[in-house]
Every structure is written in structure tokens, then in C-alpha cells.
Amino acid sequence: MINIHANIRSDEWEKFSALNFENNPDVVFNMNSSFFAFRYNWQIKTGSTTAFVGYCHNASKREDDGLYSFKLEYNPNKVVLNDVDVLGKILSFLFARKDLPLENVRVKSVDVAYDLEHPISAFIVDKGLKRDMRFFKGTMYFGEATNGVKIYDKQKEFKEKQGIELDNPLTRYEMRMVLDAKIDMLLNNINLCPYLDVLLAGMPTLYLYGNDLFLDSKDRAIILGLREEPCLINSFSYRSKIKYKKILEEYGSFHPSSKSVNQCICQYIKDLHSLICASFVYSLT
């Protein structure tokens, strides 16, 4: 998911929503007295695309010149943009306007995922600095929902949700990160690595295991036990954890790098901006 924020004048949004949302079967207006249910005002569904749009949230404060907070959230992997798609028109409303500087549009949060070509059962998991660790239907969750990690069997998900049989195992490592970066800075390849270094340092690390190392009977028994309980290493003492992590590193490990995350985010925004500016024409008429 990607969450984009901007400050939009109320008269501009009123015109845009009247033109594109009213009497549109792909757009559902959500209205509920519950505070949390009012998080997003509109839900957009066209084909495989689902997006959520919020404007003038009941907890948002009015900015100068009649500006109110605008929010857009969608999954880039499930979006197909075309010139009649409502989401494309919203993005052109944000990206292709001379009167709305891109410095006023921000990526508030973003999900970045890695697919690892190993079965999920092949990994031992060190939760890093994430305090919360929980399991639900085979998925491991670490940290809070707004800034955490989930690890799951992607091969299994393909089979269950899409009926697709993958030839090779696949484990998904998926992070949600609070970013709050301006679009114009991302288009200019801003170096987010100093910030990401701090953010990613506390993320979980996955360790592979094997049977070919020469270990004494005690250490071998512990490694075999970790294979059965992949998160058990998090209950070890500090010294024991360091010892066995060092052993496991010889088999191989995975931890997200700030450089790859920085490149992924900047490249996506550049590609999206180029597509929108080349294919869509913003208009309120």
C-alpha cells in the first residue's frame, strides 16, 4: 500500500468530486458516526483496483487559505491505470497541476516487499527491536500495524487466493514504513538512507539454516530446535542470541537494505509521475 497526503482547497475538491464521484457506480461514499469508520470518505473499486480517498477528516485541522487534508491509499500492485479510471484522474489532480506544487504532496507511508526464493519453514526469525510479535493464520507480524513487518508464505497465498501453483517456494517479507517525504524530493532521488538506516536497523532478520556445519551435540540440538520453533531465538539471553546468530549467519541471512528501499520508492514515484503526466490531462471542466 501507498498513502499519499496533500493539502487541497475545499472549493477545488468540491468541483472535482462532483465531476468524478457523483453518480459513478465505481465510487461508494462511506458515512458513519464512528470516528474510525470515517477515516476514508470514499471507496473506489474498478476491476482489480481498490482505492480509498479521504478529505477533510473529522480530526484534521484547517490549514491556511482554506486548505484541508486529503488522503489517498491504494495498492500499486493491484492498479491498472487508464484514461477513464477514477484513480488516474485523482492522481492527475495531484501530480499534473501547475497550481499545486509537488512540494505540497507527500508520501506519508509506503509498503515495500521482498520475495525470497526459499520456503518459509527454512527461516529462523530474529524479531530485531520490534517488541510485538504475533501469529495469525500462518503469518508472522512484528511491530505495530503502521510501522511493522509481516512475513508469510507467498507460494501458499498464490494457490489459495488465485489458484496459481508456483513451481518454486516463495516467502514474502513485507514492511510498512512511515515516510512523510515530499514528492518533489523523491523525484529528485533524495537520499533517504540516513533515515532508513535508523528505521531498518530494528527490523526482523531472517536466517537460513543447514546441516553441514560441524557443531557439538548441544549446539546442533539447539539449531534443530530452532528449526521447529523459528522465533524461539528471541527468548534467548543476549549472549546466547549473539552466539547462535553468528552460527546461523554462515548459512545465509536476509535483512532489508536502506539503499534498495530508497531506490524502490524513488523509482516508483518517478515512473508514476511520468505515466500520469504523459497520459492524463487534469481538468475541472
Can you give the pLDDT of all 285 residues of the chain as single tens digits? 999 999 888 888 888 888 888 888 888 887 655 545 556 788 888 777 788 998 876 555 655 567 888 899 999 888 777 655 788 888 888 888 777 777 789 999 999 999 999 999 899 999 998 878 888 888 999 988 788 999 999 999 889 888 888 889 999 999 999 988 999 899 988 899 999 999 899 999 999 887 666 788 888 888 889 888 889 999 999 999 999 999 898 889 999 999 999 999 999 999 998 888 887 655 555
Per the listing, cell 493464520 goes with 137
Nearest CA-CA partner of 70 in 1, 16, 128: 16
pLDDT at 110: 94
pLDDT at 282: 57
Alpha-carbon span 82 to 180, nearest angstrom: 27
Q: Name the pTM for this structure.
A: 0.85
DSSP secondary structure letters along 40-51: -SEEEEETTEEE
- B/e letters for 63-88, b = 16+ CB within 10 Å, e = fewer, are eeeebbbbbbbbeeeebebeeebbbb
Sequence-distant (6+) residues with CB within 8 A of 187 are 102, 266, 269, 270, 273
pLDDT at 120: 92
61: left (phi over 0), alpha (psi -120 to 50) or beta: beta
E strand map for the chain: 2-9, 27-29, 42-46, 49-55, 67-74, 105-116, 123-126, 133-136, 139-142, 149-153, 171-182, 205-208, 253-254
